Chains A and B, each alone.
Chain A
Amino acid sequence: MIIRTHTSTHTSTAAEMDNFIINALLAGIALALVAGPLGCVVVWRRMAYFGDTLAHAALLGVALAVSANLLPLAGVVIIGATLAVLLFWLEKHSELSTDTLLGILSHTALAAGLIVLSIVQRDASGIDMMAYLFGDILAISRNDLYWMYAGVVVIGVAIWRLWPGLLSMSVHEDLARTDGVPVALMRFAFMLLLALMIAITINVVGILLITALLIIPAASARLFSRTPVQMIVLAVVFALLSVFTGLGFSLHWDTPTGPSIVVLAAVLFFVARTGKTVAEYR
């Protein structure tokens, strides 16, 4: 199987060319808008591995949804919720650390997803596994964009509503609890938001790389921020820069787009890190 790039699939007219680049840009902007704030919370709450697990499970969600004739988005959110409940239960009744439990869930979900997908593919050969694994931002349709921006609005409103409690429990759970924050409920709600984010952005960078866009822009943002809100705003800025430069790089050098965006995000991080170190040294 080959990772699709724009030259292999889209060689039509100039108008269509512009169209899919604009769609890709709009999709990238949507991704940056949600990855910024969610990524910051993931970094604060040390949930990187959980994000990875959710993303891996998303493949299973998609495969199951397709085989049941459901929307892939619904499949991903349902699997995400199941995973959150499963983890909550395992953490309560296990001698093992969350780290180990996630190791079990993450890879099992990915393996199961690959199996189910291969079975589904026998009937419907239209499913492009590589697009799910690594993303295919250049194949994003107008319809996909509607879903994405609906998701952006839902996530944005939810974060805005949950913000004080979410921030408080990210600082200290017991203090948040004594202030009346329903910590367990909030944690579950946040996991659902993460699952929704993965569901709407799965086509942009794919399940294997999505966590990178949660973590890397937030990490870059941390270097230059003094308050939580600053960090979120900067994380969105860094995510946008990654998407734009990554897309440009991909178009210019004809490289796969999802991985290009991730690599550019990392380049930005190292430039930022080096720049800050040099500035501090002087």
Chain B
Amino acid sequence: MNMEMHHGSLLSAHGIGYRIAGRQILNNIDLELLPDKILTLIGPNGAGKTTLIRLLLGLSPLQSGEIKRKPGLRIGYVPQRVIIEDTMPLRVRDFLRLAGKYSVAEMQQALVAVEAESAFASPIQKISGGELQRVLLARALLKKPELLVLDEPAQGVDVVGQQALYNLISSLREKHDCSVLMVSHDLHLVMAATDTVVCLNHHVCCTGHPEDVSGHPEYLRIFGNTLEGLAVYSHHHDHAHDIHGDVVDEAGEQVCQHDHSHAHEHAHEHSS
């Protein structure tokens, strides 16, 4: 990745390191976010993904390295595992209102954009996991963000809902003209929705286009057997791929690349 701050870059991080209790969580991380791009951070549990996100957002103090944000950058953030306790009576509309002084129409519009308009007056503790993630997205969108930061946005959402959510996210990028930085642990679910993948395991293992990363030896070493992910992917992408899905056991990599070339074509169709 280019070390220099690109012209028009939204955010760039250089040489980020972070230690907790003597353990090196992050080591010499470089990252750059360009406008209108989707970048996915992927890595095993405990790889430091959330730590990196928190550093980029300024939620944790920087220990080493430097982060440059475009001045006045508007960020919409969806944290990992948001739990709103039952002790506070709070409807979805009250929750959205916390983001700032927005009119009822603006809040409803934001919910329409994430297809969760029916939740408007519901107590936020009573909506489903998928709806909550959408409401969080709506809250982030209210700020008219230039950058959406999503930490495991499909958390607590069933498999069908996950694919729908990722599709929604890639459509949001086009509609709202913003970049997306998201964390995921399943490359195959986000593949179609991402431009760049950064594979993180305390350091940047590999980075590039999703189809390149999925075949990268470093990626395969960390994720090894990702058959589960493949099965999910081929099933939900297109039923025509089911036959290939069956031979996943023998040539996972090949099937994977085959699928992704399709995904890529779709992306091209959208952008033209």
Query: Which of A58-66, A69-77, A172-180, A264-272 lies at the interface?
Result: A172-180
Interface residues of A in 163-208 (CB under 8 A from B): 164, 167-168, 170-172, 174-179
Q: Give chain B nearest CB distance to A4 CB in angstroms.
A: 36
Question: Chain A residues near B77 (CB, 8 Å)?
Answer: 174-175, 178
Count residues on chain A whose CB falls below 8 Å from chain B CBs.
22
Q: Give chain A nearest CB distance to B62 CB in angstroms.
A: 15
Q: Could you list 27 examples of A-B contacts with CB < 8 Å?
A: A43-B87, A44-B85, A171-B84, A171-B88, A171-B90, A171-B98, A172-B82, A174-B77, A174-B79, A175-B77, A175-B82, A175-B139, A177-B59, A178-B57, A178-B59, A179-B99, A179-B100, A222-B87, A222-B89, A226-B89, A226-B123, A227-B89, A227-B91, A228-B88, A230-B89, A231-B88, A231-B89
A225 at the interface (CB under 8 A from B): yes
Mark B87-105 against chain A: 1 for CB-CB distance below 8 A, else 0. 1111100110011100000
> Complex: how many Å from CA A231 to CA B139?
23
Binding site for B on A (CB under 8 A): 43-44, 46, 164, 167-168, 170-172, 174-179, 222, 225-228, 230-231
> Complex: how many Å from CA A275 to CA B77?
41
Q: Which residue of B lies closest to A183 (CB)?
A: B59
Interface residues of B in 205-228 (CB under 8 A from A): none
Count residues on chain B whose CB falls below 8 Å from chain A CBs.
21
- With A164-B98, A179-B100, A226-B123 known as contacts, the answer to whether A174 contacts B59 (CB < 8 A) is yes
Mark B59-93 against chain A: 1 for CB-CB distance below 8 A, else 0. 10000000000000001010100101101111100
> Complex: how many Å from CA A31 to CA B129?
40
Mark B135-161 against chain A: 1 for CB-CB distance below 8 A, else 0. 000010000000000000000000000
Question: Chain A residues near B94 (CB, 8 Å)?
Answer: 227-228
Cβ-defined partner of A172 (8 Å) among B54, B75, B84: B84
Structural contact, B87 and A226, CB atoms closer than 8 A: no
Question: Chain A residues near B139 (CB, 8 Å)?
Answer: 175
> Complex: how many Å from CA A73 to CA B75?
44
Structural contact, B82 and A228, CB atoms closer than 8 A: no
Cβ-defined partner of B91 (8 Å) among A43, A167, A226: A226
> Complex: how many Å from CA A196 to CA B136?
36
> Complex: how many Å from CA A225 to CA B99?
22
Structural contact, A178 and B75, CB atoms closer than 8 A: yes
> Complex: how many Å from CA A219 to CA B94?
20
> Complex: how many Å from CA A144 to CA B75?
50
Mark B16-59 against chain A: 1 for CB-CB distance below 8 A, else 0. 00000000000000000000000000000000000000100101
